[in-house]
Homo-oligomer: A and B are copies of this chain.
């Protein structure tokens, strides 16, 4: 009874939907997942979910809300590495390495499932499919970080900003939170600047430029693509790094 409702919950979640795209999960696999997935926790804005250096023993799966992972440098500047949206795994590295090498902060109020280290490792040992599926999501996350790297290294401020918003839109579409017209975006221009390696002033000017060029607007928590194709051409966005070819394991 309880197990059944748990299965229902997990099978319904953004996370299971994402995993299923990678690896076909059996009912037994789903049971294991739902066990991992059980404990929900809430996080308020202003309190980090994970602290760098912390010897952390759990990771999280985001159920609702947005978060971001970041690092702080000597000078006090920060670099946001990635944003997490519902369905995303978060803090996997800090569990595998046992001490966190980055911080994670909620951007909106967040609800997340706490995944305990021992549960996760046990699941890996006993259900290889889950292990492979998680490896897959980790690889996809890495593909995104790689694209951010290219973004910072070789694109100018305008291309970089546009590219980033296009990626965000593509990710959100996968979990049904947006379309080619745009998406709801709780980020401030400061968030963008920390993610893009720019100053907030420049982000503001770039957004004005993109608006004046008729490509997109960023206003009141809404990103609207005014000319999607032009923006794709301008930024050189190629979404193949986000995609895959369907389930690898039958």
Chain A residues in the interface with B (C-beta under 8 A): 53, 71, 73-74, 77-79, 81, 92-93, 96-99, 101-102, 121, 124-126, 128-129, 131-132, 134-136, 138-143, 145-146, 148-150, 152-155, 196-197, 236, 240-241, 243-245, 248-249
Q: Other CB < 8 Å A-B pairs besides A81-B150, A97-B139, A135-B135, 10 of them?
A: A73-B150, A79-B150, A79-B154, A81-B149, A98-B244, A121-B132, A142-B145, A145-B146, A149-B149, A154-B197
**A131 — which chain B residues lie within 8 A by C-beta?**
124, 128, 131-132, 135
**A124 — which chain B residues lie within 8 A by C-beta?**
128, 131-132, 135
**A152 — which chain B residues lie within 8 A by C-beta?**
149, 152-153, 197
Residue of B nearest to A140 (CB): B97
Q: Closest CB-CB distance, A33 to chain B, in whole Å?
A: 16
- Within the assembled complex, what's the spacing in Å between the Cα atoms of A244 and B55? 11
A interface, by DSSP: helix, strand, loop or mixed?
helix
**A196 — which chain B residues lie within 8 A by C-beta?**
153
**A77 — which chain B residues lie within 8 A by C-beta?**
154
- Within the assembled complex, what's the spacing in Å between the Cα atoms of A199 and B114? 45
Interface centre among A81, A128, A148 (most CB of B within 10 A): A128
- Within the assembled complex, what's the spacing in Å between the Cα atoms of A79 and B244? 23
Indicate if the CB atoms of B135 and A96 lie closer than 8 Å. yes
- Within the assembled complex, what's the spacing in Å between the Cα atoms of A53 and B135? 21
Q: Closest CB-CB distance, A127 to chain B, in whole Å?
A: 8
**A197 — which chain B residues lie within 8 A by C-beta?**
152-154
Q: Closest CB-CB distance, A42 to chain B, in whole Å?
A: 27
Q: Closest CB-CB distance, A23 to chain B, in whole Å?
A: 10
Indicate if the CB atoms of B98 and A149 lie closer than 8 Å. no
- Within the assembled complex, what's the spacing in Å between the Cα atoms of A102 and B78? 28
Indicate if the CB atoms of B139 and A93 lie closer than 8 Å. yes
- Within the assembled complex, what's the spacing in Å between the Cα atoms of A83 and B143? 16
Q: Closest CB-CB distance, A76 to chain B, in whole Å?
A: 10
Q: Closest CB-CB distance, A18 to chain B, in whole Å?
A: 14
Indicate if the CB atoms of B154 and A97 lie closer than 8 Å. no
Q: Closest CB-CB distance, A136 to chain B, in whole Å?
A: 6
Indicate if the CB atoms of B150 and A71 lie closer than 8 Å. yes
- Within the assembled complex, what's the spacing in Å between the Cα atoms of A92 and B236? 25
